[in-house]
Structure 1
Amino acid sequence: MKLYGKSWSRRELEARVGKIEQIAGIKRFVTTEGNEAGVEQIQIRTGAGLSYYITPSKGLDISLAEFHGIPISWQSPNGDAHPAYYDAAGNGWLRTASGGLLMTCGLMQVGASGEDDGERLGLHGRIHHTPARQVTAVSNWFEDEMEMRISGEVEETSIFGGCLRLSRQIRSRLGENEIFIQDEVRNMGFQRCPHMILYHFNFGFPLLSEETAINFKDTSVQARESENSISGYQEWQAPDANYQERVYYHHIHGEPEVQIVNKHFPLHDGETEVQVTLQWSSDTLPKLVQWKMPGAGTHVLGIEPANCHVGGRHKEREQGTLVFLEPGETVKYNLRLILK
């Protein structure tokens, strides 16, 4: 493997440490204070600069992510609030959503709250506030490469309602600044079930600055609100207390990729160029939503691959774009985040 500018074998590294976790590895812990008390977290350190926290208590989503100790993700004012405080009605999701690198929205509702088929649905669905089960966190060596893997299942179920299971696996390797997310959603029930999913990636300061560029590969863009211009969707700006959030819909024409570039990323010994690249398969995630919110005290960029837009389930049904899973049917999602 490549580490610290050199190639190493497993035994060469093991000879230089008492325990490999000195360099990289997995650590599980539970927070103890305030509305975060009782929330389980799993820290992943790759040894190459990338560190991030997975939260089994909240859908195996990813909270804080750092590069060489400097944050690249955005944290909401709620922190990693325990899911017991979640209010599913209306916009209650906003009071306990954690932010972090990834919040999963779904599995049967994404976007605006409303009523669909006689059911009242809250903002962005339940899965971000649902604890995972059968969670495993292991480091394995494959010859001279070490892989760190977190996996588990998150279920959204209801008597007389839908029954969907998300099986998630998140992987990184020693010496590499990459995150691989492999998800599978299965309809465990015996009736077809609506399925909406959106991967709400959140980027923040200091990755986002006035010099940051946001590059979209092979997309055309339109503003969700027709009165808004698309001008500036590839740029960032200083915080503005009066800024009103903007949402853009990107139409994907090739293999999707979004790159966030900061040529003056502040490391402890000076500035350097940092690129964060997000890739995924458009076969099952054909939509891309962009959330731009450089408001003072918020200051977040959302890059959101999805199988839907964010008008809510009733809107998708009206448009004839609502995705359904048949009994026993599965769908797979693959995403990759790269830092360099």
Structure 2
Amino acid sequence: MRLYGEKWTRRELEARVGRIEQVGGIRRFQLSEGTEAGTEQIQVRTGAGLCYYVSASRGLDISLAEYAGVPLSWQSPNGDVHPAYFDARGVEWLRTAAGGLLMTCGLTQVGSPCEDEGEACGQHGRIHHLPARQVSAEGNWHGDDYEMRIRGVVEESSIFGHQLCLTREICSRLGDNRIVIRDRVENRGFKPSPHMMLYHFNFGFPLMDEHTTISFPNGQVRARESELPLEGYDTFQEPGVNYRERVYYHTPDMAGRQDGKASVVIRNPNFPLNAGNPGIEVALTWSADTLPRLVQWKMPGAGTYVLGIEPANCWVEGRAAERERGSLVTLEPGESVRYELALEIRGI
């Protein structure tokens, strides 16, 4: 592996530390105060600057993420609320959404509250508030590479209703500033089930400021509200008290892309590192075959200063609207779909 600017074998590194967690690794713990009490998190440190917290209590989503001790993600005012406080009705999701690097939305509903075939669907579905089962968090050597892997199962089910199961795996390696997320969603029921999936990545200050630019994949882009201008969708700005959120819909053009991947790159030439070149870029890459749409949430508002980059298989107007336009994804009994996403931090 490469660490601290040098190449090391396993034994060379082990000779220099008491245990590997001195330079990087995994730790599990529980929060203990207020509405966060009882929330279980798993800290991952890669030793190369990247540190992030996986919430086992909240769908194995990712809370705070930092690079060299400086935050990359946006944290909501709610904090890492225990899922027992979740209310699925209407827009009550907003009271307990944690923010963080990743909030998964789905598995059967994404976007605005609606009623679909007699079922009340709250904002962004339930998966962000469902605790994971069979959670494992391990660090293991593979030759001279040390890999940290978190795995678990999240079930969204009801009697007489849908029975979807998300199996999630999150991986990083010592010495790398990279997170890989591999998901599999399976319909374990015996009737077809709607399936809506959106990966709500949230980037915040100081990665996001008036110097930040965003590069999107080639393709079509339009504002969700037709009266809003396209100008400025690829830049950010200072906080505004009365800023109205803007949502943009991107459809990446995958013609000629043999790997089937789409990417968004966020660049800030003035990221506040203590030494060396301060500029960084954060690249988010995903499998566009199963996540063919991209939603962008631009919200440089005072107190809600965040850019949402959201690969998805749907838009965010709710399940009823998706069904009406004929674009609702359905999983047949026993059918499954896989998703893969990767986030990488690089110097510029």
Query: So what's the TM-score if we normalise by structure 1?
Result: 0.99
The reply to whether residue 284 of structure 1 matches residue 274 of structure 2 is no
Q: Identify the residue that residue 281 of structure 2 maps to in structure 1.
A: 275
Counterparts of 1:55-94 in structure 2 under 5 Å?
55-94=55-94
Distance 2:156 2:318 in 1: 17
Q: Identify the residue that residue 234 of structure 1 maps to in structure 2.
A: 234
Q: Identify the residue that residue 110 of structure 1 maps to in structure 2.
A: 110
Q: Identify the residue that residue 331 of structure 1 maps to in structure 2.
A: 337
Distance 2:274 2:54 in 1: 25
The reply to whether residue 43 of structure 1 matches residue 40 of structure 2 is no
Distance 2:130 2:276 in 1: 41
Distance 1:238 1:196 in 2: 33
Distance 1:97 1:37 in 2: 15
Distance 2:158 2:252 in 1: 34
Distance 1:242 1:337 in 2: 32
Q: Identify the residue that residue 222 of structure 1 maps to in structure 2.
A: 222
For 2:273, the aligned partner's letter is L
Distance 2:248 2:10 in 1: 46
Q: Identify the residue that residue 298 of structure 1 maps to in structure 2.
A: 304
Q: CA deviation at 1:262?
A: 0.3
For 1:71, the aligned partner's letter is P
Distance 1:88 1:292 in 2: 25
Q: CA deviation at 1:31?
A: 0.4
For 1:211, the aligned partner's letter is H
Q: CA deviation at 1:299?
A: 0.3
Deviations for 1:144-187, whole angstroms, at most 9, x for unmatched residues? Answer: 00000000000000100000000000000000000000000000
Q: CA deviation at 1:115?
A: 0.2
| Contact 1:218 1:256 (8 Å CA) reproduced | no
Deviations for 1:250-283, whole angstroms, at most 9, x for unmatched residues? Answer: 0110241100000010013476110000001111
Root-mean-square deviation over aligned CA pairs? 0.7
Counterparts of 1:134-149 in structure 2 under 5 Å?
134-149=134-149
SS in 1 for 2:278: strand
Q: Identify the residue that residue 21 of structure 1 maps to in structure 2.
A: 21
Distance 1:96 1:9 in 2: 44
Distance 1:186 1:220 in 2: 30
Deviations for 1:11-34, whole angstroms, at most 9, x for unmatched residues? Answer: 000000000100000000000001
Structure 1 stretch displaced more, 254-263 or 30-39: 254-263
Q: Identify the residue that residue 251 of structure 1 maps to in structure 2.
A: 251
Query: So what's the TM-score if we normalise by structure 2?
Result: 0.97
Q: CA deviation at 1:219?
A: 2.5
Distance 1:28 1:6 in 2: 29
Q: Identify the residue that residue 258 of structure 2 maps to in structure 1.
A: none
Distance 2:321 2:262 in 1: 25
Distance 2:162 2:90 in 1: 20
Distance 2:70 2:125 in 1: 31
**4+ residue runs over 2 A deviation:** 268-271
SS in 1 for 2:279: strand
Distance 1:17 1:220 in 2: 51
Q: Identify the residue that residue 313 of structure 1 maps to in structure 2.
A: 319
Distance 2:50 2:69 in 1: 8
Q: Identify the residue that residue 31 of structure 1 maps to in structure 2.
A: 31
Distance 1:242 1:250 in 2: 25
Q: CA deviation at 1:218?
A: 1.4
Q: Which runs of 5+ in 1 are unaligned?
A: none
| Contact 1:52 1:64 (8 Å CA) reproduced | yes
Q: CA deviation at 1:119?
A: 0.4
Give the % identical residues: 64
| Contact 1:71 1:205 (8 Å CA) reproduced | yes
Counterparts of 1:81-230 in structure 2 under 5 Å?
81-230=81-230
Q: Which runs of 5+ in 2 are unaligned?
A: 255-260
SS in 2 for 1:265: coil
For 2:89, the aligned partner's letter is A
